[in-house]
């Protein structure tokens, strides 16, 4: 996924660049309206994170005149909880907004929701793993991961519920639904072990006493 940040605060730029790149995104940052205009003319991105207050202009004007015509989904950043500015940006077509100071995890969660909602790409990125939700294929570092049909369905279940625990009982019910076979708790352990061996231990987290979780941010 390709993200463009338009923000002049150096601390925010460094923090978000590190966080997004560390989670497998292609991430660029520019610091002014003029830089943003040139970048948008030359590049395609999946989403823009746009500060409303920029040194050479207003982010809302930049959105209305340049970003919106280019068709890029946009999340606004604002240092002020200014209802009129927020409403104007959303009325013009902005996807969401977040008020400074903000949590990096919260922004990433909002970015992920917008990307899934717009469905320009159906690929969900989890660290170095990419799950194409349309093609039902999984790649790790751009190499295809060979999964059985049931393993793929179980991983798909976890990815659909990313950042949430999927209980062992839910997984048991799904295995029975998909296979029609009698299964027990040990079956879940075996399948999750096989999935981990193929996608990496760091992708699937065990929540002891509850189930399993895949974290995106």
Name which of 197, 108, 99 is nearest 146 in CA terms. 197
Share of the chain above pLDDT 90, in %: 63
- Residue range 127-165, pLDDT digits in tens: 999 998 778 899 999 899 999 999 999 999 999 888 889
Pairwise CA distance, residues 153 & 175, whole Å? 9
Provide the domain limits for residue 182: 123-214
Pairwise CA distance, residues 131 & 143, whole Å? 12
Which residues have a Cβ under 8 Å from the Cβ of 197 and sit 6 or more positions away?
none
Q: Domain count of the chain?
A: 2
Q: State the CATH number of the domain containing residue 196.
A: 1.10.10.10
Indicate if 163 and 95 belong to the same structural domain. no
Per the confidence metrics, is the pTM higher than 0.85? no
- Final residue of a domain: which of 101, 118, 135? 118
- Final residue of a domain: which of 94, 118, 142? 118
Indicate if 132 and 83 belong to the same structural domain. no
Indicate if 170 and 152 belong to the same structural domain. yes
- Residue range 7-35, pLDDT digits in tens: 999 999 999 999 999 888 899 999 999 99
Q: State the CATH number of the domain containing residue 112.
A: 3.40.50.2300
């Amino acid at each position: 996924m390709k993200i463009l940040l338009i923000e002049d605060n150096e601390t925010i730029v460094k923090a978000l660049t590190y966080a997004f790149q560390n989670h497998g995104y292609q991430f660029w940052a520019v610091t002014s309206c003029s830089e943003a205009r040139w970048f948008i003319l030359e590049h395609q991105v999946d989403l823009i994170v746009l500060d409303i207050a920029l040194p050479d202009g207003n982010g809302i004007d930049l959105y209305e005149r340049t970003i919106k015509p280019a068709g890029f989904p946009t999340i606004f950043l604002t240092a002020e909880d200014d209802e009129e500015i927020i409403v104007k940006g959303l009325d013009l077509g902005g996807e969401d907004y977040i008020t400074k100071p903000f949590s990096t995890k919260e922004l990433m969660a909002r970015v992920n929701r917008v990307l899934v909602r717009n469905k320009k790409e159906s690929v969900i990125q989890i660290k170095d793993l990419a799950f194409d939700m349309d093609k039902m294929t999984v790649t790790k570092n751009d190499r295809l991961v060979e999964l059985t049909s049931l393993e793929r369905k179980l991983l798909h279940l976890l990815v659909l519920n990313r950042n949430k625990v999927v209980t062992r009982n839910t997984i048991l019910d799904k295995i029975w639904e998909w296979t029609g076979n009698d299964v027990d708790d040990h079956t879940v352990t075996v399948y999750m072990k096989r999935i981990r061996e193929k996608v990496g231990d760091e992708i699937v987290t065990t929540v002891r006493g509850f189930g399993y979780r895949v974290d995106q941010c």
